[in-house]
Structure 1
Amino acid sequence: MARTALKEPQLKSWEAVNQTLADIAEARREIELEQAACNEQVDQLKTESKDKLKPLLELVKANELKLKEFCEARKSEFTQIKTKKLTHGSVGYRLSTTVSIPDPVFTCQVLKELQLEHCIRTKTEPDKEAIKQLTPEQIAEIGASVNTRNTFGYDIETVDPTATAAH
């Protein structure tokens, strides 16, 4: 579909602009009411679902504990094989290794002192706020550009219904 440019503004007066703002405010109120009603239904469904799922989740957790206890009692059977395949699934053990770093700043300092920089991840990215402060020549030299626009905006005057009810 071809984009058509407007020849004249559709609104002809400030009264029309004011009425358009009123129309937007009314539409937003209706949107908020509908969204609130929808959120209430979603919350109710979540509560109902949580109540239905609770016994099933407890059953799964209890059965997982039974599986673990059974396999722990027979851990010697897993020395040659890591996984025991059964008709409805498999059970087994996997060797996992984790690294705990309680103080990353201290660890990075020590890694630098020991010349182990390859163990440090560094994310490098331009600081756009700092770049705004550079001269136009410097900005051009680094291959960046600063774009300034005068963008249109509007505000809707809203009234808090609880504040008006108190008076």
Structure 2
Amino acid sequence: MAKIESFSDIDLALKKICELSVGIEKINGEVTLECNRIKELRKNEIERLDNEKKFLEQQITLFCEDNKHEFADKRSKEFTFGEIGYRVSKSVSIPRVKTKVVSLLNAIKAYGLGKECITYEEKPNKEALAELDDKDLAKLGLKRIIKDNFRIVPKIESLELVK
């Protein structure tokens, strides 16, 4: 395709964009199908390797649990092919049921632990700010940005009409 010099050239270019988009999607679809075919062919092999890996990890864990005293001074051990070790982690399970969460929040507030144990996320609401007039935006130190964005929207379905 040559240089665009008229609106009819644009229509021809849009047709070409549609054809290219269809070609790209066709190839992407074929790639996905081929990847899925290869994954399916190798599924048993991957499963076998994964099971063997999990078994070895389980054996290492069981051995280390039986010999936990070896980790009393130094919490990890370095080997040629990796590292094993224990790490202390802390967590608290928070209820998922909304009524229990509300009850927990009330209890936290009642004990005066609200500042440390409750997080609040505050952020500007862009949609609401965009609705303010320019004077109010100026008071807030904000400016309205108006752009005239160009767009190209190919109608791929129109290719079917041409054939």
CA distance in 1, matches of 2:79, 2:136: 68
Q: Which has the higher contact order (CA 8 A, sep 6+)?
A: 2
RMSD: 3.2
Query: Which amino acid is the alignment partner of residue 107 of structure 2?
Result: V
Who is 1:28 aligned against? 21
Deviation at residue 160 of structure 1 after TM alignment: 9.1
- Spell out structure 1 runs of 4+ moving beyond 6 A: none
Structure 1 residues 17 and 79: alpha-carbon distance in aligned structure 2, compared to 1, 3 A threshold: closer
Who is 1:153 aligned against? 151
Deviation at residue 118 of structure 1 after TM alignment: 2.0
CA distance in 2, matches of 1:157, 1:87: 60
Q: TM-score, normalised by structure 1?
A: 0.71
CA contact (8 A) 2:77 2:84 kept: yes
Pairs within 5 Å for 1:79-94: 80-81=72-73, 83=75, 85=77, 91-94=84-87
CA contact (8 A) 1:84 1:91 kept: yes
More helix by share: 2
The gaps in structure 1 that reach 5 residues or longer are: 1-8
Structure 1 residues 84 and 145: alpha-carbon distance in aligned structure 2, compared to 1, 3 A threshold: closer
Who is 1:113 aligned against? 110
Task: State which of 25, 28, 34 in structure 2 corresponds to 1:41.
Answer: 34
SS in 2 for 1:24: helix
Query: Percent identical across equivalent pairs?
Result: 25
The gaps in structure 2 that reach 5 residues or longer are: none
Deviation at residue 126 of structure 1 after TM alignment: 1.0
Question: How many residues get paired?
Answer: 153
